[in-house]
Structure 1
């Protein structure tokens, strides 16, 4: 509904008070409901951020508010409070850059900003550009109908971020307050490095994130060497997040190498895949095929048997049996 859309958009501008287009959306929704005074209120806020914005001026004109109102507070009592901000030179808005070395500060702007922009605002704006002005109100209302579900996604990300913050803070306090033997300092270094890399990847679009390096770092950490329960929990959480994508990346590389006849290199990548995901029957199968191609029948038989024994109902079982018969002849 329009009311729900208005509520959600108000939350958006609370997260980012400089989001001019969010104010435009709010104004349009109020205009649709014939609440022109409320629409003006949000347009004046947009004008205070950028007095030259043509969209703001156009919407004000549609509300029969002349462009001069922004410069003459006496022409409209409601504009009086925002006139100072409207006529003064406005410095360009710059978001505060997060302090990566503080770990958690990176997440606040990145997760919420990306989620709000990607899930809420961008689809709406793209749809608006593809339609004519007569259907503008309907398009915004339709696009914003999914905001409740998308807000739940943001809440989940914020909760995950909060939990991760707490784990980082606990672990960092333990490191700062404890005397770590010289030979174990590197253990903590690897964990902190993996965490820094993970937070950096969160700042990228989801399709561009690369968890391979993080997963490799985590795979080299022996959690049994940590006496802290929170450290073990943090390691497990990071592995749950990064291992599936990293395992798939190793498998894809290994399969490509196999297809190009580079069997020894393929085995290395596929072994990394099953180290991160031991249940990947495809990786197990193609390790067997690679050994078979290298005429290493013993190792080929070993992996074919794993497929047949542990995954008898998989789509690789039939081929594994056929090739096992070949290497055992």
Structure 2
């Protein structure tokens, strides 16, 4: 079975799994399965559209729009994502309501972090009223209710969230927490206060002859009826002015305000749609960049492999015909990357190398010794680097040692030290490793002596300066 066919089968398997979970409102599980389906095949239109529906069912409308816009970019015609997007856009103010709900949700998070639970609860209630299927808002509101010990209200919000997504881990964890709190709380008897309210009615009592007259105190104020009339008129005027201001005046500007609100809602819908499109395009661009980098790496690796095969086949042909010099064959063989060859190519490479490399190592090592003795360190380095590339441990590390010494003579101490250190680590017990260790130790000893000499020179200069000062004072 081809590699691409396996990927298609895996993508379809996880799509079917996500569809089953979505049918029983296991939204969290459906999201996980559908994302995995898109990992195997990001062009699976059905999986991407279903993922958008699942997000929409959880109240995550922005994420849903992103998936549908991506789906539309993959397949612009005969795609149900076009229908989903148009249905959201054709409902006046829906995107604005959702955007407002998200803003209220974010504000409530900030308020809760500042110990403003009461204000956060008010904001979340507004968010849920604007966007009833917003699972995250229900969960946060339930958490705040638990924090403020309003457990009945918390259970109500969690039941709503559970209906929207039956397997959401956050919802299930909060429900379990409430159950544990109920078990741990002792039963408390509720005190019911009982008490009658005494009604005290103020009265005026006086006697006329043998009779006692009891009269309500309000009757005392009859003598102020003129003042009451004036007050009633004043109150009537104020009420009339209030009615004029609060009822009639708003009605005059309602038409103008309505048109303004419609324009604001229209602009908000366009902005929300454009933001979703921008987010979708960014996601698609990142995917294309990742795929492009992988393609470039594969392309470079493929080119290197092809070049190595061509060189090996060409050299093997000339090696068999004996119509190419050893030097020319070596230059070609050193360009080959053996790890990129397959079994057949590697076999031919090793066949040529087994015969060619020992001869050339011996020849180049001898040439390098002569160049080193004559002071041609560049030539010695060039020859020895080829020897080390063919056989790093040639002559028990002596070739690598001579290369380090050539770098040292040339004044490139860092490169020399790298080779010395490699000899010490990889060829312990060999003569070359001992020589390399002595060279490193000699550098350390020389460095210490130079530092001490510098200190002595500084002290001598200081003494001389002190003597000069004394002489000047004597004068």
TM-score greater than 0.5 by the shorter chain: no
TM-score band by shorter chain is: 0.3 to 0.5
With a CA cutoff of 8 Å and minimum separation of 6, indicate the structure with the bigger relative contact order. Answer: 1
The TM-score normalised by the length of structure 1 is 0.38
| Higher alpha-carbon Rg | 2
